[in-house]
């Protein structure tokens, strides 16, 4: 079963406008499936997961590229052969007007982006493809939040819930043994596995490096390096605080969110989705689902997520600040189905402090059945309509 991806129109536009396009994102998010299904008939295809192709490209890059002639080419998992990028640059520079020649994919953010920026700056469009958004998987959207939190949003377990347990466990194990070793030379994988589990337990909380350092028994620089690994491999998203000071001193510590809730459920040993959402981590899991949707919706438009959280020194906090068109939309994310005036207090406080910078409307994303108008120009939106609301604004 193939589910169309909403990134496709942006991808096709970039192919028409740029000599090369790079699609990044986590492993198993559907990058290869998107390309093979929707543009594959017009492109030759090579995967550098194949060691023979990888060795050929490394040992004889010109010979490797010459075999495809003028045919447009998909180069899958380009992070394995960054040495090929300068050769692509030379070929692009021979005719900068020729567009749509190279489409690359990669699943590791920082080192890959460093190599791309050094070799193909100004010659490449960069897009991100995450696992399914609720905008894409209509079955998820019509379901219950506990089912999505349990099965996650990666295409394989999302579409085949029966294989969820084995798939999620295998994904985590493969990630630790493969990606972590490649991104950084971590010798003690057992300690890293402990770190990963503790981070899952910190879902939606401020990222306390000192506490993690003590609990893992490693140095602060190591914790910071390992957090970079989580971000580089698209496992976690670090939501930064909004820095502009409206008369209050703002905290400068990011909050950590796993981009897929099923990974959190597995790492924190939740027994099932219903127990997870009803338990102590229910609010954090629900908030993480909405934050990940915000990241995905921006990416589907070909944009970096312009999102933050806000907290003053006296504890006033807004879960999510979305910046669109110079306006700041304050969003509270609550598991409740009965929003109250108390839930509006942080939103109203932020709007009062931000003045003209704030959008007129504040939003509570919760489990109401339908969109509900609230006092002081605020609104409650059903959780499964948040993505549509944000998509329409971008």
What HEC string does 43-92 produce?
CEEEECCCHHHHHHHHHCHHHHHHCCCCCCEEEECHHHCHHHHHHHHHHH
Cross-strand bridge partners of residue 321: 308, 330
Instruction: Produce one character per residue of 325-341: b if its CB has 16 or more CB atoms within 10 Å, e if not.
Output: eeebbbbbbbbeeebee
In the chain the first and final C-alpha atoms are separated, in Å, by: 29
Q: Is 269 exposed, middle or buried (0-12, 13-18, 19+ CB in 10 A)?
A: exposed
May I ask the CATH architecture of the domain 307-393? 3-Layer(aba) Sandwich (3.40)
Q: Coil, strand, or helix at residue 51?
A: helix
For CATH 3.40.1350, list the domain ranges present in the chain.
307-393
For CATH 3.40.50.300, list the domain ranges present in the chain.
8-128
- In this prediction, residue 314 carries a pLDDT of 79
The percent of the chain in helix, strand and coil, each rounded to the nearest 5, is 50, 20, 30
Which residues lie below 8 Å from residue 106, measured CB to CB, with a gap of 6+? 22, 23, 24, 77, 78, 79, 112
- In this prediction, residue 249 carries a pLDDT of 45
The topology (CATH level 3) of 138-300 is Arc Repressor Mutant, subunit A (1.10.10)
Q: What's the rounded Cα separation, in Å, for the pair 293 and 298? A: 9
Answer yes or no: are the C-beta atoms of 136 and 3 closer than 8 Å. yes
Q: What's the rounded Cα separation, in Å, for the pair 142 and 257? A: 24
Structure tokens at 232: 């580089």
What is the average pLDDT across 75-84?
91
What is the average pLDDT across 340-358?
93
Q: How sure is the predictor about 218, in pLDDT bands with cuts at 50, 70 and 90?
A: very high
Our CA angle for 178, 180, 184, nearest 5°, is 125
Q: Coil, strand, or helix at residue 186?
A: coil
For CATH 1.10.10, list the domain ranges present in the chain.
138-300
DSSP secondary structure of 110-165: HHHHHHHHHHHTTTEEEEE--S--TTT-HHHHHS-HHHHHHH-SSHHHHH-GGGHH
Our CA angle for 254, 278, 310, nearest 5°, is 25
- In this prediction, residue 177 carries a pLDDT of 80
Cross-strand bridge partners of residue 307: 322
Q: Coil, strand, or helix at residue 349?
A: helix
Give the global pTM. Answer: 0.94
May I ask the CATH architecture of the domain 8-128? 3-Layer(aba) Sandwich (3.40)
What is the average pLDDT across 63-86?
92
Radius of gyration of the chain (CA): 22
Structure tokens at 211: 């506490």
> 392 — phi, psi (to 5°)?
-70, -25
- In this prediction, residue 23 carries a pLDDT of 95
Tens digits of residue pLDDT in 220-253: 999 999 998 899 889 999 999 997 765 444 557 8
Q: Coil, strand, or helix at residue 322?
A: strand
Q: What's the rounded Cα separation, in Å, for the pair 26 and 107? A: 5
Tens digits of residue pLDDT in 366-378: 999 999 999 999 9
Tens digits of residue pLDDT in 119-152: 788 889 999 999 999 999 876 555 789 999 999 9
Helix axis angle, 85-94 to 110-120, nearest 10°: 30
Answer yes or no: are the C-beta atoms of 39 and 65 closer than 8 Å. no
């Amino acid at each position: 079963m193939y589910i169309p991806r909403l990134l496709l129109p942006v991808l096709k536009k970039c192919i028409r406008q740029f000599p090369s396009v790079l699609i990044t994102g986590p492993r198993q998010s559907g990058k290869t499936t998107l390309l093979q299904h929707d543009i594959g008939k017009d492109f030759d295809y090579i995967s550098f997961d194949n060691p023979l192709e990888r060795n050929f490209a490394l040992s004889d890059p010109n010979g490797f590229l010459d075999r495809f002639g003028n045919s447009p080419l998909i180069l899958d998992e380009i992070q394995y052969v960054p040495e090929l990028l300068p050769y692509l640059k030379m070929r692009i520079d021979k005719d900068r007007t020729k567009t749509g020649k190279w489409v690359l994919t990669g699943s590791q953010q920082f080192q890959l982006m460093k190599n791309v920026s050094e070799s193909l700056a100004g010659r490449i469009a960069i897009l991100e493809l995450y696992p399914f958004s609720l905008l894409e998987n209509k079955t998820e959207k019509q379901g219950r939040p506990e089912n999505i939190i349990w099965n996650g949003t990666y295409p394989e377990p999302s579409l085949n819930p029966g294989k969820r347990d084995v798939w999620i466990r295998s994904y985590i194990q493969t990630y630790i043994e493969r990606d972590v070793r490649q991104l950084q030379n971590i010798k003690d994988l057992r300690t890293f596995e402990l770190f990963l589990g503790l981070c899952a337990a910190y879902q939606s909380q401020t990222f306390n490096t000192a506490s993690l350092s003590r609990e893992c028994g490693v140095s602060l620089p190591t914790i910071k390096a390992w957090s970079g690994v989580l971000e580089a491999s698209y496992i976690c998203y670090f939501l930064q605080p909004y820095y502009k000071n409206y008369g209050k001193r703002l905290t400068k510590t990011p909050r950590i969110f796993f981009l897929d809730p099923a990974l959190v459920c597995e790492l924190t040993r939740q027994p099932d989705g219903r127990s997870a959402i009803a338990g102590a981590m229910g609010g954090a899991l629900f908030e993480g689902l909405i934050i990940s949707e915000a990241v995905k919706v921006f990416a589907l438009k070909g944009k970096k997520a312009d999102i933050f959280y806000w907290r003053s020194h006296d504890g006033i906090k807004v879960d999510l600040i979305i910046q669109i068109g110079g306006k700041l939309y304050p969003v509270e994310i609550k598991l409740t189905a009965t929003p109250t005036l108390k839930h509006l207090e942080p939103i109203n406080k932020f709007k009062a402090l931000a003045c003209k910078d704030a959008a007129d409307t504040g939003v509570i994303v919760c489990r109401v059945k339908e969109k509900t108008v609230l006092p002081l120009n605020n609104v409650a939106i059903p959780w499964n309509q948040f993505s549509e609301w944000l998509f329409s604004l971008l």
